[in-house]
Amino acid sequence: CVHTENCFVPTSEIIAVEETELNKKQRNIGKWQKMGKPHAFTVYYVKKARNHRWRCSDVTFWCVDEYLCNQWIQALKELLEMQKCRPKQLLVYINPYGGKRQGKRIYEQKVAPLFSLASISTDVVITEHANHAKENLFEVNINKYDGVVCVGGDGMFSEVMHGLIGRMQKDSGIDQNNPKAPLVQCNIRIGIIPAGSTDCICYSTVGVSDPVTSALHIIVGDCQPLDVSSVHHNNTFLKYCVSLLGYGFYGDILKDSEKKRWMGPMRYDYSGFKTFLSHHYYEGTISFQPAKRTLGSPRDKDSCRTG
């Protein structure tokens, strides 16, 4: 741990360590004027704020001994190198049309500087049409990346998820149309930078829809396993889903709202009210297979750690 004025910071929450030039950090420098030329280094770390929000904070350490200062910098950087769960190379997909069309700006102004600070290399792809990210994931050399980051909403996450899972099955010769085929687990993590109309997946995994918080979780290598369900019809693969599967009323809302993306998030309220007034009714049959062995309960305190 590194001791600051107010708290202890675990090395797992340190973002970066950098040598500090005196003209960049002038705070409290007056007390060093009677000494020789001071040297300093700055530790950037995660500061946890209210409502699950994370922020990047920093503390600067001053030292008159240049050799001692360099020793500290080297020792802390070695500790960071030992954090094997942290990504070094990321593939980033940005949806410039999602939400309020702020995805590119959010990434460049709030996320990219943090990735650069943490020495994370990125290859950025700005999507040009629907399923661009999904199609691209079938072509790139996926093995060179530690993870894939999507900047957008739930639709962007769905594209990346379908692309990654589909790529894994294709490379392994698995037929996705066979509902009984055991799927190959995808061991490449997906990071979500919220910038869409709805950020349900991001909110449910991180606890808040905030680009900086999500970026910091990605940097320190946090991971939250998710259950993925596949949907088939007559031995034909349709979709994967992780949050909900809509049929009938909800499906009609989504279908109608897609035609009104220019309205932004308000399109869901408009389409919902319009669909409600249509008084449609829907028939269907649901069948399910109960688990043979119950190993846990949704109400217990055991976290899912599969994979």
30's tokens: 């007056």
Q: Are 151 and 92 in contact (CB under 8 A)?
A: yes
182's tokens: 């055991």
97's tokens: 């049309």
Distance CA 80, CA 13 (A): 9
219's tokens: 């940097």
Distance CA 48, CA 106 (A): 21
Which of 63, 47, 42 has its CA nearest to residue 117?
42
88's tokens: 């070094």
41, 42, 45, 51 alpha-carbon torsion, rounded to 10°: 160
Looking at residue 296, what DSSP letter applies?
A: -
Q: Using a CB cutoff of 8 Å and minimum separation of 24, what contacts does 142-145 make?
A: 142/91, 142/167, 142/188, 144/89, 145/89, 145/90, 145/91, 145/188
154 catalytically annotated: yes
Catalytic residue among 58, 123, 146, 154: 154
Distance CA 76, CA 57 (A): 17
Looking at residue 11, what DSSP letter applies?
A: G
At which residue do the structure tokens 């034909």 appear?
Answer: 236
Positions marked catalytic: 154
